[in-house]
Amino acid sequence: MAMAIALAASPLLRHFSMIYLLILLMTSAGAQQQSRKQRFILGSAVNDACLNGIYQNSSGCTCLAGFDYVERDDPLKGCRWNASQQICGASSVMQDIGDPDWPGNDYEQITPVNKTACKQACVEDCQCIVAIYGILADGQGSCWKKAMPLKNGRTDTERSAFVKVVPQPPPSSEPPPSSQPPPPSEPPKQSKEGKGKLLAAIGIALLFCSSLFAAISLIIWLRGARLRPKEQHKFVQGLQTFSYKELEAVTEGFKEKLGRGGFGTVYKGKLSDGKAVAVKKLKKAQEEGEKEFRTEMSSVGASHHKNLVRLYGFCDEGCHRLLVYEFMSNGSLDRALFQSESYLDWQLRVQIALGTAKGLLYLHEECMTQILHCDIKPQNILLDNFYTAKISDFGMAKLMGAEKTRTYTVARGTMGYIAPEWQRNAAITPKVDVYSFGVMLLEIICCRPVLKLDVPDNEIALPDWVYDCLRTGSLLKLVEHQSNCDSEIDSKELERMVLVGLWCIQEDPALRPSIKKVVQMLEGTVEIGVPPPPAS
């Protein structure tokens, strides 16, 4: 019980662990022995079957919208959140999933409220995954907002449940052709003279329309030939322009896929001079894809730093939007940390953390236009031949004027790395990137994701486990499984990295250091005090 009270102060615990720990405290031994045949489970419990899905004894496990199977060969291992789902923003909607509920899992209750307002409250809250609507004993409507992980779901609750999803584009609504031909109509009788006048009128109308169409097409072609190249050159001065056919040849027909994100797919290619490149092909006819294209051109195209991925050129032809980047031979940081058979060398990880911080320092304080990246995470840090960190994927970046120190904007980013102020609709500052960097720094230290379910209870939420190890003087527990590293892990360097990460994830932005101070801390040029718990 004391552990639960001590950990309850952490905001990330509220996000990931409170629901799970409270259920463990409240569930009796008899309830734990109940047969799963009598329950309907939706959740993320560590030891339960069908994590993040729907479990029924008769039909197995089914994933909710926005979730994928952990292992398709064994559905009972449950489901995991689809990382490509961006659920922060106005594009999200609430999907009706019937009448399940998770008693004790809600982190906020709103009363009185109607069903529409309940669903909208969840859409506007980045933390909210599921909303439950029901009528209280006094007749008032109430809304319970719930976040992952969920556990001990049950049905027949006389309440309505909704899960947050990103809607797919609707199918074509053209009516099917009629299977029966229309009945023949008897043409009206006309004289030969009337028929001749009618044919002449039709011929003149067709000739006029054809001439008008040809004239409009000629004007459009001339304007495109004279103005478009100038506008493009003005928009991307210093970058190379490619035609779609050129990039199709560079990638050999978009053959080798490197990765896929929320806005498009990345392919490997080779320029005529033999230089390897990564070609990002944005989705067609999508407003968000067009916005990402313009944002990346405006931010990366004008930025030059060794810790930012370099943009060589682009294609802006018709409906095609493509970006050509330098190729990173060692892939993304998340693969090196979480998907490699061996642990990334300690000194390389220290180098990657410092390089990423220096890249953010350039964006925040050294660019002519201040840039907030807004989506710092291991998937967006690329590694070259020498494991130099390169910040990439500026599709969610926010450009700020020189006179601005804060701004208001719609929520953006990835769950687990989003700063608390996004959820409060508060003013946004460069400290949102500092928060995301702090979460990622703890992942770099421990070589594991911020949320992990197949571990002891006190290690599920990484920041809380790290702080507990710091408090008890047992930091070596964080890296004791990394015995195969090429270089020895220095205990003082480990402590310094941990302190920096914990300062960066403070709930109050005023307590977080600037990214310049973060660089100084990592380099060991300034003293670092012991931070308060992640929430104070």
**Distance (Å, rounded) from C-alpha 261 to C-alpha 131?**
27
Give counts: helices (H), strands (E), the chain: 15, 19
CA–chain centroid gap for 495, Å, is 30
* Marked catalytic residue, from 48, 316, 375, 464: 375
Cα–Cα–Cα angle for 310, 311, 313, rounded to 5 degrees: 150
- By CB atoms closer than 10 A (0-12, 13-18, 19+), residue 472 is exposed
CA-nearest of 434, 286, 301 to 372 is: 434
Helix (H) or strand (E) holding 24: helix 18-26
Termini Cα distance of the chain: 20
Q: Distances from the Cα of 185 to the Cαs of 177, 188, 189, 342, 507, in angstroms? A: 20, 9, 12, 79, 77
Q: Is 384 a catalytic residue?
A: no
The answer to whether 306 is annotated as binding is: no
Strand partners, 278: 268, 325
**Distance (Å, rounded) from C-alpha 464 to C-alpha 449?**
13
Rounded to a whole number, what is the largest CA-CA distance in the chain?
Answer: 106
How many CB atoms are located within 10 Å of the residue 165 CB?
20
At 257 the three-state DSSP class reads: strand
**Distance (Å, rounded) from C-alpha 377 to C-alpha 395?**
13
CA-nearest of 513, 508, 518, 498 to 420 is: 508
Q: Distances from the Cα of 403 to the Cαs of 246, 308, 406, 407, in angstroms? A: 41, 24, 9, 11
Beta strands in 208-352 (DSSP E): 240-241, 257-260, 264-270, 276-282, 311-317, 320-326
Token readout for 220 is: 């459009």
CA–chain centroid gap for 159, Å, is 30
Strand partners, 265: 260, 281
Check: CB of residue 65 under 8 Å from CB of residue 38.
no
Check: CB of residue 17 under 8 Å from CB of residue 460.
yes
How many CB atoms are located within 10 Å of the residue 167 CB?
10
Catalytic residue positions?
375
Binding positions for ATP are 281
